[in-house]
Amino acid sequence: MTGHWESTGIRQRIDADKLPDTPEYNPISQEHCWIIIVTYRYNPDVAEPILDRDIMLFGPRVGCLFCEKPYSHLLRHRRCPGEPK
Ligand SMILES: [Zn+2]
């Protein structure tokens, strides 16, 4: 996926323990859970890394958390099988 992506430019501290639980697949609604994946290079010598373009390796990529298929307009309108196939 290409395009123009923006951020707020505001530095935020994130406490991973306070994030909501990972959503669970709903076999009744069979909805995809679209997520955006961005991969950064991690340097363990940096105490508080800044996730900016300088250390970005891949992304952003959009895909479904459950079926692991990349987003497409066609897939958007299909039901999610809930697992990779
Ligand atoms: Zn899916």
Tens digits of residue pLDDT in 35-63:
999 999 999 998 878 888 889 998 889 99
pLDDT confidence of 70, banded at 50, 70, 90?
very high
Q: Which pLDDT score, from 0 to 100, does residue 78 have?
A: 97
Percentage of residues of the chain with pLDDT beyond 70 = 94
Confidence of residue 11 (pLDDT cuts 50, 70, 90): confident
> Could you tell me the distance, in angstroms and rounded to a whole number, from the CA of residue 80 to the centre of ligand 1?
4
Long-range contacts (CB closer than 8 Å, 24 or more residues apart) made by 66-74: 66/25, 66/32, 66/33, 67/32, 70/1, 71/1, 71/34
Omega prior to 70 cis, within 30 of 0: no
Ligand 1 centroid to residue 72 C-alpha, Å: 11
